[in-house]
Amino acid sequence: MLQDPMLQVSRLAKTYGFGADATHAVGDISFEVARSEFVCIVGPSGCGKTTLLKMLCGLLAPTSGEITLGGRRVTEPPEEMALVFQDYSRSLYPWMRVGENIAFPLLRQRGLSRADRRERVRQAVEAVGLTGFIDGYPWQLSGGMQQRVAIARGLAYQPQILLMDEPFASVDAQTRADLEDLLLRVRHEYGVTVLFVTHDIDESVYLADRVVVLTPRPTEVQEVLEIELPRPRNQVTTKELPEFARLRAHVYRAIKRPERAPEDVSGNASEKAASAPVL
Ligand code: ADP
């Protein structure tokens, strides 16, 4: 158990449908995220990551178990959470300028003056290196720049937790590396807690303080790894470290493990996670 968890996921399960048509998407998931921590969730495709995310952000009710954020149970989209999705082209409003896109969620925050909003937007745009583009429209920007706008929007909101769903999966490799480094830098500047879902093993090890490895569905926590690579991380020197290679190989093997027999899939995930090797 963590000292001061920001997010607690306890015995979470989700079954779609009933009887013979039931799909057991999420079996039994428990994990915690501490304040200011960067946690990556990684698992094979189809393992239920999207289902888990929808429950975390209060859009889908779990079949059993519970989620608490800052000590409060999540039953609807929490105001303290900001989301960044993979598909930046659908998450930005094309008719709004960059600055307006970033300011939009701030209108929900009562007690924030117009001057406060303007300052939050200015700082966030500067943090992601888009100051010169604040009056442009999203469609005038490259994919990587649009995703920077989405990140800036999340930062300006100053959430308790930033939830990111494969946010760099739609950009080219170089842009992806740049965005990973930008995220690490701004996360440090803002001190924000990040929960980052990805199927990219290298990305999870490179970014995280801890990696939660999921099993195939019905999803459980297979293992939680402490990533004790030095910070600040660097795309070249971090990835050259023997420890990086060891961790990435370890996660890779865990995810490529053959599917478990049906009789193995019941049981208590939190106990399994607790007894799983923590590297
Ligand atoms: P991932 O995001 O890891 O690819 P998903 O959460 O999308 O996995 O899906 C996990 C399982 O749940 C899949 O077998 C999928 O077919 C099933 N599933 C997802 N959404 C629904 C739904 N609304 N109704 C029935 N089954 C669903």
Q: In this predicted model, what pLDDT tens digit does every residue of 76-106 receive, in sequence order?
A: 999 999 999 888 888 899 999 999 999 999 9
CATH number for position 239: 3.40.50.300
Q: Are residues 113 and 191 in the same domain?
A: no
Same domain, 64 and 107: no
Task: Please give the structure tokens belonging to residue 137.
Answer: 């429209």
Give residue 253 CA to ligand 1 midpoint distance, Å.
Answer: 24
Out of 143, 158, 173, a domain closes at 158
Q: Which atom of ligand 1 is nearest to the CA of 47?
A: 3
Asked if residue 97 and residue 57 are part of one domain, the reply reads no
User: Residue 77 Cα, ligand 1 centroid: separation in angstroms?
Assistant: 20
**What is the rounded distance in angstroms from the CA atom of residue 115 to the CA atom of residue 189?**
21
For CA atoms 87, 88, 90, 91, the dihedral sign is: positive
Residues 171 and 64 in one domain: yes
Choose one of 158, 177, 202: the last residue of a domain: 158
Tell me, in angstroms, the distance from the centre of ligand 1 to residue 13's CA: 13
For 104-160, what is each residue's pLDDT tens digit? 999 988 889 999 999 999 999 999 999 999 999 999 999 999 999 999 999 999 999
Find, among 199, 194, 224, the residue nearest to 42 by Cα: 199
Is residue 186 domain-shared with residue 253, that is, in the same domain? yes
- The best mutation among 12, 29, 51 to test binding of ligand 1, ranked by most ligand atoms within 8 Å of the C-beta, falls on 51
Last residue of a domain, one of 105, 137, 158: 158
What percent of the chain has a predicted confidence (pLDDT) above 90?
A: 79
Nearest to 148 by CA among 199, 186, 109: 186
Three-state DSSP state, 231: coil
- Considering the domain architecture, whether residues 96 and 124 belong to the same structural domain is answered as yes
Q: What is the extent of the structural domain holding 10?
A: 5-80+160-275
Q: How many domains, the chain?
A: 2
User: Does one domain contain both 134 and 169?
Assistant: no
Question: Rounded to the nearest whole angstrom, what is the distance from the C-alpha of residue 124 to the centroid of ligand 1?
Answer: 34
Are 73 and 116 members of one domain?
no
Binding-site residues, ligand 1, Cβ < 6 A: 16-17, 23, 25, 45-51, 217
For ligand 1, atom 22, which residue shows the shortest CA distance?
16
Identify whether residues 45 and 96 lie together within a single domain.
no
pLDDT digits (tens, 9 = 90+) for 198-247: 989 999 999 999 999 999 999 999 999 999 999 999 999 999 999 999 99
SS (H, E, C) 144-192: HHHHHHHHHHHHHCCCCEEEEECCCCCCCHHHHHHHHHHHHHHHHHHCC
pLDDT of residue 258: 57
**Closest CA to ligand 1's atom 11:** 25
Predicted TM-score (pTM) of this structure: 0.89
Q: Are residues 98 and 45 in the same domain?
A: no
Residue with CA at minimum distance from ligand 1 atom 6: 48
Residues 179 and 208 in one domain: yes
Give the distance (Å) from ligand 1 centre to CA of residue 43: 13
| Residue bearing the CA closest to ligand 1, atom 27 | 16
* pLDDT recorded at residue 206: 98
Same domain, 239 and 103: no
